Structure 1
Amino acid sequence: MKNFLKMVWVRNKTVPTEACLQSFNQNFAEAVNVEWFKKTGAYEAIFYNNNIECIALFHENGSLIEYRQNLPLSHLPEIIKSTVQSKGEIMNTVLINKGNLLEYELIIRDADLKRFCLNISEFGEIVDEKKL
């Protein structure tokens, strides 16, 4: 029980490289509630930017690999909405920016209440589809 309470109340103590911190501050100057995690060869930051949850992944040298942000349905481009409208109800949307490529990850629920994860390019092409 003590260990559980400690895990709940003690925040993550991961400290990224100085290069990661500088890159993060340049890219996400308005970020709040930042938590860092060490990944294999990289650092991950989970934070809020303009009240939207985001995740950014950095190489140890500070270069930004990708970032993801939860995307309100109202901000989803029409081309993406029209691509998935026949597949079912959109439950969740995430914008993925990897380099200069945008991709959208959507959780869809069909008429049989089965859920699917769709990855769609910024041009409305389905890149990947898997049942959850």
Structure 2
Amino acid sequence: MNSIIHHFVPPNHFVPPARVVSALYRLYGDLLNVEWFEEDACYEAVFYHEEMETIARFNEEGELQVSKRNLPLHMARPAIARQADMVGELMNLIEINQHGVLYYEIIARDKYLDRFFLLVQEDGTVMEKRKL
């Protein structure tokens, strides 16, 4: 039986060039539910790796440009958790790896239930903070 979602959202049958697909599997190995998208001469794969939702963006040559992982909250590094604690409660944690440099996108909620977006370097330095 088909899901009702198929009536509203067409399935994604796009497949990038073989060198891009090969690069993905060479870097990550076994994957679940891989979906591909093309945007601005880049190829983006959304998939599950080690039970975490991951996004990997490749250029046309199959070189990884950036990856993002949706991490469980308990995996927040101390410097990142401190920044969230300064706002209130950590609600969402995304790890960004851009050419070997780690950043974190976090969403935290204050005691008034206002949510804030923070882009934080690995050492805890806040690069951007804004109310959502």
TM-score (norm 2): 0.91
Cα RMSD of the aligned pairs, angstroms, is 1.3
- In structure 2, relative to structure 1, the CA distance for the partners of 1:52 and 1:5 (3 Å cut) is closer
Q: What amino acid maps onto 2:89 in structure 1?
A: E
Cα shift at 1:80: 1.1
| Map of 2:104 onto structure 1 | 104
Cα shift at 1:19: 1.4
Cα shift at 1:6: 3.9
Q: Deviations over 1:12-41 (max 9, x none)?
A: 011111111111011111211100011111
Cα shift at 1:60: 1.2
Q: What amino acid maps onto 2:55 in structure 1?
A: I
- In structure 2, relative to structure 1, the CA distance for the partners of 1:19 and 1:5 (3 Å cut) is closer
Structure 1 runs of 4+ aligned residues shifted over 2 Å read 4-8
Give 1:1-80 correspondences, 5 Å limit: 5-8=6-9, 10-80=10-80
Q: Distance between the aligned counterparts of 1:80 and 1:5, measured in 2?
A: 39
TM-score (norm 1): 0.91
| Map of 2:131 onto structure 1 | 131
* Runs (5+) with no aligned partner, structure 1: none
**For this pair of structures, how many residues does the alignment match?**
128
Q: Distance between the aligned counterparts of 1:45 and 1:28, measured in 2?
A: 11
Q: After superposing the two structures, state which structure 1 stretch, 74-83 or 36-45, moved more.
A: 74-83
Secondary structure of 1:21's partner? helix
Q: What amino acid maps onto 2:17 in structure 1?
A: T
Percent identity of paired positions between Structure 1 and Structure 2 = 36
